[in-house]
Amino acid sequence: MYLCHKKKMLSSTDFIPQPYAETIEKGSFSASAPSNIALVKYWGKKENQIPANPSLSFTLKNCKTITHLHFSKIQFTENFSFELLFEGNPKPSFRPKIELFFERIAIYLPFLNEYHFVIDTQNTFPHSSGIASSASGMAALAFNLMSLEKALNPAMSEDYFYQKASFLARLGSGSACRSLKGEVVIWGNHAETERSSDLIGIAFESIHPHFHRYQDTILLVDKGEKQVSSTVGHELMKQHPFAEKRFEQAHQNLTALKKILTNGELTEFVQLVESEALTLHAMMMTSLPYFILMKPNTLEIIQKIWKFREQTAIPVCFTLDAGANVHVLYPENFRIEVLQFIKNELVVYCQNGQYICDEIGDGALFLN
């Protein structure tokens, strides 16, 4: 007789804690968490921040949020008690998002109703640069909240800490669950990825040295507010005529990309990454209502990258997130040539000539 040792699937109830061992009156924690850039894109979601398809991202290093969380014990309160400071000043416009986040996670962190919090946060990337700070912001806050939970339950394992931080971050902003740990992170059930889960991001570690310190130069084409938010975009995938085919393709592309990352096949990498970026925007253009987030300069840059690649055979490529900015991706050993090309030919298409040099990083950090 065989005994089947099938691993138990992770479930939300795994993150509901037992009564805490310790009590703490007050204190503070600090953390930084980076942004991430998806290569296989998440676009479309179900209830409770469950993705419609699996995704894979590179974790960034320099674009990050730094958050200090101060807490002091109060009587149980139905309404959450918190102050929010962004770059040292109160930021009322961020409150609803945090309020909603706390509502969603209160069942997993019952102490939320028993403390007053001061959330003091800042980003390393320029203010309203068009770079979404929700991934890094939610990841940094979730990480700090887990530091507090760990202080209340010191027996917590490191694995559980990171899994739950990712689980909580996802409930703040889907892609935030990919900003906790690992240079390359996969989020979403994928038949061909062991331990993959719709609930958390997991690190993918079989990465070829060609991707070591892979560069991402972010060209800031349009720093304005997006006309259509990601939330609306995800929602539009529900009645999208091509949705099923797209979700199927994301599964296949993830299988292919894992192999590419392991074998270091840069030509295949370029093709798959650009195809994913354009597919994301094709989904936007074929939604009802339809919309376009790329700007004329986005297309100018793409054309220039294609021309430069053809002329030099340097495996530089682009990806896009839900906006007009262009992420230029390339191996570290071509850094000098590509940066020169960016300065000579692409900076003219950036708003105020602005761009950010970043590279693969490995996730969130404790700062105290």
CA 322 to chain CA centroid, Å, is 12
Distances (CA, A) of 99 to 29, 273, 294, 312, 342: 20, 35, 31, 51, 41
- Of 220, 222, 218, 219, nearest in space to 358 by CA: 218
By C-beta, is 42 or 341 nearer to ligand PMV? 42
Beta carbon nearer to ligand PMV, 172 or 315: 172
Strands laid side by side in the 355-359 sheet: 317-319, 326-330, 215-219, 355-359
Helices (DSSP H) in the chain: which residue ranges? Answer: 95-105, 134-152, 158-172, 230-236, 243-263, 266-285, 296-312, 335-341
Shortest Å, Cβ 149 to ligand PMV: 23
Cβ 36 to ligand PMV, closest distance in Å?
A: 7
Cβ closest to ligand PMV, residue 29 vs residue 143: 143
Minimum distance from residue 134 beta carbon to ligand PMV (Å): 6
Q: CB 93 → ligand PMV: shortest distance, Å?
A: 17
User: Which residue, 43 or 269, is less far from ligand PMV as judged by CB?
Assistant: 43
Residue 230 beta carbon to ligand PMV: minimum distance, rounded to whole angstroms? 4
Q: Which is nearer to ligand PMV, 320 or 338 (CB)?
A: 320
- Of 201 and 315, nearer to ligand PMV (C-beta) is 201
Q: Token pair for residue 312? A: 């030099």
Rounded to a whole number of angstroms, the minimum distance from the CB of residue 177 to ligand PMV is 9
Structure token pair of residue 350? 């950036």
Kindly tell me which of 274 and 321 has the beta carbon lying closer to ligand PMV. Answer: 321
From the CB of 174, what's the least distance to ligand PMV, in Å? 4
Residues of this chain that bind ligand PMV (CB under 6 A): 38, 41-43, 55, 132, 134, 173-175, 230, 280, 321-322
Residue 197, CA distances (Å) to 73, 163, 185, 245, 319 in order = 34, 11, 11, 21, 24
Using alpha carbons only, how large is the chain's radius of gyration in Å?
A: 21
CB of 80 to ligand PMV, least distance (A): 22
Give the closest residue to 283 by CA, choosing from 222, 230, 236. Answer: 236
Residue 130 CB partners (closer than 8 Å, separation 6+): 220, 221, 222, 223, 224, 226, 323, 324, 325
C-beta of 70 vs 130, nearer to ligand PMV: 130
DSSP-assigned states of every residue in 325-362: -EEEEE-GGGHHHHHHHIIIIIGGGSGGG-EEEEEB--
Residue type for 41, please? K
